[in-house]
Amino acid sequence: MNSIVDFSSIHFTPKPASMTKPPKAAYRSRKLWVLEKLKEHFASDPALKARFDAVTTFSRQIRVSEYHLTNACNIRCEGCWFYEFGHDKETREEKDISTLSNFLDTEVKTRKINSALVIGGEPAMFLERLSLYQAKMRFLTVSSNGLKPIPLKGFENLAIGLSLFGGGPLDDQLRAIKPSGKRFEGLFDKALDNYKDDTRAVFIYAITEDGIDYIEDTVEKIHRNGNQVSFNFYSKYGTREPSAVKHRAALTTEALRVKALYQDTVISPPYFIKTMISGQSHWDSFGYKNCPSISVDHPAHQDRLRNGMPSLPLFNTWSADLKTIKFCCTSGHCLGCRDSQAVSSWLLVSMSQFLETPHQLQTWVEIAESYWSQFIWSPFFKHKSSSDSTNIH
């Protein structure tokens, strides 16, 4: 870690009093139970063991952190937590390339990070900085709004997650807003044009009950464009209950229906879709106490990291000043958070909760395989182009 580190103050106040460290005996007993259940399930299904071994072997190679490349953006989305909570004003971004190079060298050589999730602001506005991440990191993923294309040359193995809010006309309503406040039209269509048949690009589609009627048509456009899509959940930041859903059943039903219709286009598996929308798995509800996507070096998490719940090893989120460690992978406000990456990580680190039956374990393997399939640099990545557009199941 850098010799001089600041810590983000943009976050809710954790309440660690109820978080107690489990006894060592209970931990050892649980670990033995996990090993026995795995042995039992694999004995009856060697093919499942092979899939499990493949996905866990790859997962163990990944040591990821998140980086804010810039505080600047070419649009101002409604519901963007970065601007909603003032993250752009908390720090002053580092623009010196040599300083960024030295910082990344420390991340790679000292902290042993080999995978970067680069966000903003809008990283596509600063390709020189992004190219440095490409040169330094073995695995690189970037989050972009799609308005400005990231060229293929020099970024051939870059995984690109393209933001999409609501679908249909809702996307322009929520995202097509210039920094001046002036509205424009056709942001989603522009992103489709910029990334047609681009194997690097996956749309991260934040679905909402206000856009239930647009889900199928939106996925159809992505399908015809030769891209894939991963469902996210649109949290209405700035409201009292950002994740409140009056029509949860209808939203879930439609998302699952469209998933079944476009199985190869919609990466998200059914279990993930249901968990993301409801915030509830079969064993617990998602929240601060078990979210693994927290910065492990942020002092606010000392009690959380001792409560026995898994976390992402070595994970930190760095501000664009390259000095400030942020609270977590997203807004820092846990109320209403359904961030798809955070929910995915929660399910991935919770394999031990999927061992009661062989079917449960198979579900977990499918979640893991689906998650890794969205990255072009992953061995689980599956290429899709617009020439496959007739393959609707």
| pLDDT given for residue 1 in this prediction | 56
User: Would the pLDDT of 393 be above 50?
Assistant: no
User: Would the pLDDT of 347 be above 60?
Assistant: yes
| pLDDT given for residue 390 in this prediction | 46
User: What does the pLDDT average to over 62-73?
Assistant: 98
| pLDDT given for residue 247 in this prediction | 86
| DSSP H helical ranges for the chain | 24-44, 46-59, 81-84, 87-90, 97-109, 127-136, 169-175, 187-194, 215-224, 248-261, 270-278, 340-348, 358-372
| pLDDT given for residue 336 in this prediction | 76
Question: What whole-number percentage of the chain has pLDDT above 70?
Answer: 92
| pLDDT given for residue 319 in this prediction | 96
Instruction: Tell me the per-residue pLDDT of 262-316, one tens digit each, with 9 for 90 and over.
Output: 999 999 999 999 999 999 999 999 999 999 999 999 999 999 999 989 999 999 9
| pLDDT given for residue 10 in this prediction | 85
> What one-character DSSP code corresponds to residue 313?
T
CATH topology (fold) of 64-356+373-388:
TIM Barrel (3.20.20)
| pLDDT given for residue 3 in this prediction | 57
User: Would the pLDDT of 241 be above 90?
Assistant: no
Lowest mean pLDDT among 56-65, 364-373, 376-385: 376-385
DSSP string, 244-301: --TTHHHHHHHHHHHHHHTTTTB-S-HHHHHHHHHSB-SS-B-STTT---B-TT-GGG
User: Would the pLDDT of 39 be above 70?
Assistant: yes
Lowest mean pLDDT among 15-29, 31-45, 257-271: 15-29
Closest to 150 in 3D by CA, of 120, 124, 168? 124
> What one-character DSSP code corresponds to residue 239?
S
Instruction: Tell me the per-residue pLDDT of 272-286, one tens digit each, with 9 for 90 and over.
Output: 999 999 999 999 999
User: Would the pLDDT of 203 be above 80?
Assistant: yes
| pLDDT given for residue 17 in this prediction | 46
Distance CA 181, CA 140 (A): 32
Distance CA 112, CA 110 (A): 6
| pLDDT given for residue 345 in this prediction | 98
Closest to 287 in 3D by CA, of 5, 10, 19, 6? 19
Mean pLDDT score across all residues of the chain: 92
Q: How confident is the model at residue 168 (pLDDT cuts 50, 70, 90)?
A: very high
Domains of the chain: which residue ranges? 64-356+373-388
Strand partners for 39? none
| pLDDT given for residue 20 in this prediction | 60
When comparing pLDDT for 132 and 385, which is higher? 132
